[in-house]
Chain A
């Protein structure tokens, strides 16, 4: 059953519209995620809200990632190694529900996204594999 790590990791990149949180992403996004984690403390949330840029400047985060955080550009943050469970601390700091924040990563507005979910969600059909197209 043991799988070759290179083959295993290559497969994980073959899913459309998805960034699996691999070790490579975890390393790249370490400080993005640790910054987000710091927002679990009320005092930090207040300091961040008072001056987002100044709070971000306390962290070893690239300028690109800081811009993405300020813009709440979650797809770019996933590319830069952010993980949704860490980024969710920023959702709640902004007072957004998980579903609303998640909808911003899709092609839909929040009401459209909610409607899609009520109708059974996004179909896996055609969404399983980039290479295979199934």
Chain B
């Protein structure tokens, strides 16, 4: 039986990918950010997940303004890194797990989550930066990936409550997959940041840390934070944190915190990172 054994939350700032690709990750600016991921890189080597369900958002790479799926699941065999205007990142292709992905997609639809299914797409920094942060620079990624793309760009985006419930449904779907698989779920994006308008550059250390505390709690209060609170407190792009709730919802009521890291700034953004296991 497949099982979700851990959840990881992480920012996915594109500049982190640049730092890895250009070997700058130990310099004065990036050193303190990457130091907070060292624990996780060692832990992942020991955990050896077979599959990561990677919750992220596409940044106008695979999806243009034409088609806007709220929740989309990648059911393909593999995905190439996207050209986001600078040429594709020089990272390995991402190998999918089509059997598990199709199983999750079908189960979710029966469970009344009407997913969009994607067979072919390129994956942008939202997906490849967390891979680099957790796995470094291997020649081949050490696990398969089920990409789960969430619309957090065009409003209304899904509520925190809906994201949490989707996480619960994903956990049920994984548990009904017959093969023995060690599955992790990652929620990415955030933390506080605003990339647009005169208010750009907003960061909120206090609120971000309250959010991390809430993820560790033995209750689900965090699912009820309304969009307007994320937007007022953490900037227009801070809304990406709803994606962390899909991860948290999949872990069950009680969790154990294994690791946590917070750093300001990385480019325009506050970096947050947490590793949780079902307790």
Contacts and interface: CB of A to CB of B under 8 A. Distances in A.
Interface of A: 1, 3, 5, 8-9, 11-12, 15-23, 26, 30, 33-34, 36-37, 39-40, 42, 45, 74-75, 78, 83-86, 88-89, 91-93, 97-99, 102-103, 105-108, 113, 116-118, 120-124, 127-129
B236 A33 contact: no
A106 B200 contact: yes
Interface of B: 14-15, 59-61, 64-66, 83-86, 153-156, 159, 161, 192, 194-205, 207, 224, 226-228, 231-234, 236, 264-265, 267-268, 270
Nearest to B58: A85
Given A8-B156, A83-B153, A34 B64 contact: yes
Nearest to A24: B155
Contact of A85 (B15, B59, B161, B270): B59
Given A33-B60, A84-B195, A121-B203, A18 B231 contact: yes
B247 to A, nearest CB: 20
Given A1-B224, A37-B60, A89-B60, A15 B155 contact: no
21 contacts: A9-B155, A12-B227, A15-B199, A15-B236, A18-B199, A18-B231, A18-B236, A22-B155, A23-B155, A42-B83, A86-B65, A97-B267, A98-B14, A99-B267, A99-B268, A102-B200, A117-B201, A118-B265, A121-B203, A124-B202, A127-B199
Contacts of B85: 39-40, 45, 88-89, 91-93
A21 B153 CA distance: 7
Nearest to B236: A18
Instruction: Tell me if B's interface is mostly helix, strand, loop or mixed.
Output: loop
A33 B154 contact: no
A23 B199 contact: no
A98 B237 CA distance: 14
Most buried by A among B64, B196, B207, B231: B196
Given A1-B161, A83-B153, A122 B264 contact: no
A83 B201 contact: no
B60 A15 contact: no
Contacts, number: 157
Given A12-B231, A105-B200, A121-B203, A18 B154 contact: no
Contact of B60 (A11, A86, A123, A128): A86
B196 A18 contact: yes
Nearest to B59: A85
A94 B89 CA distance: 18
Contact of B64 (A3, A33, A108, A127): A33
Given A17-B199, A36-B60, 11 more contacts: A1-B161, A1-B224, A3-B226, A19-B197, A40-B83, A40-B85, A89-B85, A98-B15, A98-B268, A102-B195, A129-B232
Contact of B231 (A20, A40, A113): A20
B159 A122 contact: no
B202 A127 contact: yes
A107 B200 contact: no
A87 to B, nearest CB: 9
B264 A121 contact: yes
B199 A117 contact: no
